[in-house]
Homo-oligomer: A and B are copies of this chain.
Amino acid sequence: MDDSLFRALADPTRRKILELLTQHSLTAGEIAEQFPIAFASVSHHLGVLKAADLVAAEREGQFIRYRLNTTVFQEVVRYFMTRFGGDGEGGQHA
């Protein structure tokens, strides 16, 4: 389990970005609008998330569209379940 993954998740702004991307993919500008910090700062956060492979970026004309990389989240869940979960699946699936 990569170190950059947990470091990326440690910042609340980045977690919020991930939650936004849960709904649907968004361009960098659409993401940045949602936060009171500078666009460049959001761009930095997006870079961290991309480096951790939590999101993927794709150019779309002038824009750059970000989407969630759900595969990595499954790895995170697996990490916690195998190591600490035991009977801790959360009990909310059938």
A residues with a Cβ closer than 8 A to B are: 3, 6-7, 9-10, 12, 15, 18-19, 22, 68, 70, 73-74, 76-78, 80-86, 88-90, 92-93
Contacts and interface: CB of A to CB of B under 8 A. Distances in A.
How many copies of this chain does the complex contain? 2
Given A18-B84, A74-B88, A9 B12 contact: no
B73 A84 contact: yes
Nearest to A54: B84
Contacts of A70: 84, 86, 88
A81 B92 contact: yes
Contact of A80 (B80, B83, B93): B80
A85 B80 contact: no
Given A10-B7, A10-B10, A76 B68 contact: no
